[in-house]
Amino acid sequence: MVRTPCCKEEGIRKGAWTPEEDQKLIAYLQRHGEGGWRTLPEKAGLKRCGKSCRLRWANYLRPDIKRGEFSPEEDDTIIKLHALKGNKWAAIATYLAGRTDNEIKNYWNTNLKKRLKQKGIDPTTHKPINSTDQTRIGPKKLKLSSSGSARVLNRVASKYAVDLNRDLVTGIIIGNSSTTITDVSQNSEVENSTITLLNKTSTSSGFSDNCSFSDGFTEFFSNEEISDMSMSLDHVGLMEELKGILSYDNAGAGEIKGSPEANVSDEMEFLIDYWNVEDDQDLEKFVSSLDSNTGGVVS
DNA sequence: AAGGGCCTCAACCGCTATAGA
DNA sequence: CTCTATAGCGGTTGAGGCCCT
């Protein structure tokens, strides 16, 4: 099937928007709200295609857009999220109130990327340049950086859950977990995902009792590593957040049958470049204890 | 002052995902 | 199930401004 281009008509304007066009678009959207982008231009008296109108609104005219320089905190958040998610600009934008995916993408390409390079860090892999083998040697404490630890968290979450749980863990890592946990209780999709996770891990002994994710977590990582990865949360806070997520709603074993299994090979694709054999071995040791309790190994 | 190169970022393009008929 | 419209995403482009020589 070949899609017809949205701007095929003659007389459709392209290029920079004039203040008059902006005013027409704002006025129309204030009266009628967002949506119906296909028919909007004609109704609003604009010689633009609907897509152009939507982008102009989403990236520039929306009243909640924050303009101006990025703060160091925002820089830090973008870098951490990029290490976790890659070029998923829309996903990254959800963690930065008032910033658009387009703005973050531009900022990354024009500023942050260069800055990382200047610091000797590969902006794609977030690993030091000219030391591609660095993470494969040396003791564990040296190879697990904060982003490495974050990746371990992601990997564990991925092993037991669908994307939404990984997002919750991401929330913890960048320090806005209270928001995401609040979202859990208000979003049935996230709730199901979280209960799925819980069921996977609680089918035998009960996850929040003697098969505690967070207990295993403290065995798996050193205090230094945990402290490193908690970033804006203290150690106890991080553990409590994890327990909170994993014991959400006190869902019992087997409450959800036939839940979609996380496809690790797909979900973990974003980690492949970062991961190394030792990480795998360490992780396997950790998760095998959970697997032996759940009776189900995702591979 | 001029002009060439570089940088920034709004806007566009091509594609996929999703919903509904 | 198929088809189509629409929304959304990520990559790319290009106009305009800035800087350097």
Half-sphere exposure of A229 (CA within 13 A, CB side): 28
Q: What is the mean pLDDT of residues A230-246?
A: 37
Residue ranges of domains in chain A, CATH in brackets: 19-61 (1.10.10), 72-118 (1.10.10.60), 134-290 (no CATH)
Chain B bases having any atom below 7 Å from a protein CB:
7-16
| Nearby residues of A122 by Cβ (< 8 Å), 6 or more positions away | A116, A128, A129
Residue A24 CA distance to nucleotide C19 C1' (Å): 37
What pLDDT is attached to residue A88? 86
Tell me, in Å, how far CA of A110 is from C1' of B2?
28
- Range in A85-99, A145-159, A242-256 the model is least confident about: A242-256
E strands, A1-72, are: none
> Percent of chain A, pLDDT > 90?
0
Q: Is the pLDDT of residue A146 over 50?
A: no
**Single pTM value for the model:** 0.57
pLDDT value of position A250? 36
Residue A200 has pLDDT above 60, yes or no: no
The residue among A217 and A103 whose pLDDT is bigger is: A103
- Is A113 (CB) below 7 Å from strand C? no
Q: Which residue is nearest to nucleotide B13 (CA to C1')?
A: A5
Cα–Cα distance for residue pair A242/A134, rounded to 1 Å: 30
Residue with tokens 């160091």: A72
Residue A121 bridge partners (DSSP): A128
pLDDT band, residue A76 (cuts 50/70/90): confident
Question: How far apart are alpha carbons A80 and A173 in whole angstroms?
Answer: 9
Q: How confident is the model at residue A213 (pLDDT cuts 50, 70, 90)?
A: very low
Please give the DSSP secondary-structure letter assigned to residue A255.
Answer: S
Round to a whole number and report the distance in Å from the CA of A87 to the C1' of B6: 25
Q: What angle do CA A239, A220, A178 make, to 5 degrees?
A: 20
User: Looking at per-residue confidence, does A151 or A253 come out higher?
Assistant: A151
Subset of residues 152-181 in chain A with CB less than 7 angstroms from any atom in strand C = none
Tell whether the model's pLDDT for residue A236 goes beyond 70: no
Question: CA A180 → C1' B20, Å?
Answer: 31
Nucleotides on strand C with an atom closer than 7 A to protein CB?
3-12, 15-16
Q: How far is the CA of A229 from the C1' of B10 (A)?
A: 36
∠ CA A99-A183-A33, rounded to 5°: 55
Q: Lowest mean pLDDT of A28-42, A162-176, A235-249, name the range.
A: A235-249
A160's CB contacts (< 8 A; 6+ apart) are A197, A200, A201, A262, A290, A298
pLDDT 10s digits, A51-72: 888 888 888 888 888 878 888 8
- Find, among A163, A246, A240, the residue nearest to A199 by Cα: A246
